[in-house]
């Protein structure tokens, strides 16, 4: 019988990535007050948030033999964390801040299976070319920045803003697939074929 992965996320991008691999996935939105979680660095904060989300779903639904996967992505520039913009004005500010500079994307990930928890954080650096006011305005007007950390998604039209990256592309999208596969195999004794 095919197992399923529980995805502790409301992100359509994470769900799409797992389904792209042909996996049987059930998304469930975690109930975590993210403002109550603190850590010493943005990278550690992303990992702590992912752990909290995985633990909350695991406690709430008690998935029988189904691993829970959670992730959280934060954008960091000049020591400042950029979350999801509250409105179009904040999205413009974020994109101006990123324009012509290198920033870091941290994706924390946690997996719980049968009570065993493993977590990690992956970091990639992203360099934006210098953006014109018109490009920023067009992108903000599209509405695309409003549900994304740092006000952009590399897999959409904002991919044209990215001059170069260092690290795993899927870390930037929000779910490092290679690291997830290794965590499932090495810590949980599971293979992706178990969920197809």
| Residue 126 Cα distances to 15, 57, 159, 180, angstroms | 23, 31, 11, 21
Question: What is the gyration radius of the CA atoms in the chain, in angstroms?
Answer: 17
Q: Of 33, 40, 64, 72, which residue is the catalytic one?
A: 72
Task: Give the residue from 159, 154, 143 showing the smallest Cα distance to 85.
Answer: 143
Instruction: Write 59-62 long-range contacts (CB < 8 A, 24+).
Output: 60/31, 61/6, 61/28
Backbone angles phi, psi at 115, to 5 degrees: 85, -10
| Angle made by CA atoms 121, 94, 89, in degrees to the nearest 5 | 135
Q: Is 72 a catalytic residue?
A: yes
The pair of three-digit structure tokens given for residue 108, joined into one six-digit string: 């924390």
CB 48 within 8 A of CB 27: no
- How many C-beta neighbours within 10 Å does residue 130 have? 10
* Active site (catalytic) residues: 72
């Amino acid at each position: 019988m095919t197992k399923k992965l529980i995805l502790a996320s409301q992100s359509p991008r994470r769900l799409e990535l797992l389904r792209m691999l042909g996996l049987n996935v059930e998304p469930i939105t975690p109930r975590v007050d993210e403002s109550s979680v603190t850590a010493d660095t943005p990278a550690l904060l992303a990992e702590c948030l992912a752990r909290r989300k995985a633990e909350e779903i695991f406690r709430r639904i008690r998935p029988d033999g189904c691993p829970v996967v959670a992730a959280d992505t934060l954008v960091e520039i000049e020591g400042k964390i950029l979350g999801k913009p509250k409105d179009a004005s904040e999205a413009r500010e974020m994109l101006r801040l990123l324009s012509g500079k290198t920033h870091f994307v941290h994706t924390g990930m946690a997996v719980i299976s049968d009570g065993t928890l493993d977590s990690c954080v992956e970091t990639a650096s992203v360099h934006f070319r210098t953006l014109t006011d018109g490009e920023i305005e067009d992108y903000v007007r599209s509405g695309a920045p409003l549900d994304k950390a740092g006000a952009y998604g590399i897999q959409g039209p904002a991919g044209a803003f990215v001059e170069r990256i260092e690290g795993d592309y899927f870390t930037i999208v929000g779910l490092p697939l290679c690291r997830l596969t290794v965590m499932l195999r090495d810590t949980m004794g599971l293979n992706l074929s178990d969920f197809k």
